[in-house]
Amino acid sequence: MAELAKHKGDGTAHDYLKESEDHAARAAEGILSWAKPLDRVAAGRALLKSHGLAQGVSQGVFVPATRRQPEPGVGFALWDTNGNRAGMVIFSLTQDEHGGQAFSGAHRVTGREDARFAGIQQSRNGEVRVADSLPAGLELARDYPASGVIVRLEGDDLPHNLSRLTGADNLIDEAAVSAQAVRASTPETAVIPVLQDLEAVAKREAEKLAALLIENMPQTEKTDPATLDRVFTLLKDEMGGQDTEVAALAAILSREQRTAQQRLDRDIASVSRLSQDKQAERQLEERGTETDPPSAARMNQAERDIVKEKSLED
């Protein structure tokens, strides 16, 4: 606010922010002017070697630790879409498990808001490759040590003057290359038209409809000789009066009707057998009842004979 209070004239807050961005960009230029390239510092050379980047020409500079920033870092210049320097990004370094330097993932940006690209590696073969993140950019720099590498911080645009960033202008966009590789690896499958038998298709559809109609009918109607005629009528209404398809259903409808009749015949036979068994039981009971009185009479006669014999003895 003190800086804003000192700012005089008819300027706006936007003008003040613009001046602040320019100040940050100048501060970044100052750091880039005195910071040493990675290959000229022992820690930087160890870092390049551990990441497999020693074969390329890195654009990174080693930024030593300060009171304000206690961790050392690696700085890369930032550029806008017109190919002009717009600040720098500094990635913090930490010690790895072997005591060496490694990227921690944390970073800070100083410069203008229109900064879009970070230069990672200088080109020696006229090619420039584009990545969308620092890890991807470091991987490209390792895999293509002779190619220039830039990292796109946001968006999907490209700088208009590539040669200012890496010294080359033959662009190879990794996103486009990956998409092309996917297309190349996916064989095109020829679409062979299937020539269907229209009559067979119509017959299958009609059969499904017929089966549904038969299934939803009561059991008694399935055995009715008039059922076939009613189903034909319904099918003709549903199929738009196509007699050919309806006629083709005679077999399936007859089969359904025969199956229903067979089930009914089995049920009738079962009931008939049960009735016959009960009738046989009743007949046995009746015959048993008819034979019981004579037996009782014989027993009574025997008793009378015994009494008579006793009387004679007396």
pLDDT at 201 over 50: yes
- Sort 53 into a burial class: Cβ within 10 Å, 0-12 / 13-18 / 19+: buried
Token pair of 272 as six digits: 């008939």
Q: Which helix (H) or strand (E) holds 287?
A: helix 250-313
Residue 2 in tokens? 């003190």
The pLDDT tens digits of the residues spanning 83-119 come to: 888 898 888 887 777 766 777 777 888 888 888 999 9
Q: Which of 71-75, 145-149, 231-235 has the lowest mean pLDDT?
A: 231-235
User: Whose CA is closest to 121, among 83, 161, 77?
Assistant: 77
User: What integer best gives the mean pLDDT of the chain?
Assistant: 73
Of 24-28, 102-106, 185-189, the poorest mean pLDDT is in: 185-189
Could you give the angle at the alpha carbon of 48 between the alpha carbons of 46 and 52, nearest 5°? 115
Domain range annotation of the chain: 10-185, 198-291
In this predicted structure, the answer to whether residue 16 has a pLDDT above a threshold of 60 is no
Q: Between these two residues, 268 and 167, which has the higher pLDDT value?
A: 167
Two tokens, residue 154: 């946001």
Q: Model-level pTM greater than 0.95?
A: no
In tens, the pLDDT along 234-263 reads: 666 655 555 544 555 555 555 666 666 677
Q: What is the sign of the dihedral through the CA atoms of 216, 219, 222 and 226? A: negative
pLDDT at 202 over 90: no
Contact assessment for residue 151 and residue 137, using Cβ atoms and an 8 Å cutoff: yes
Contact of 150 with 141, CB cutoff 8 Å = no
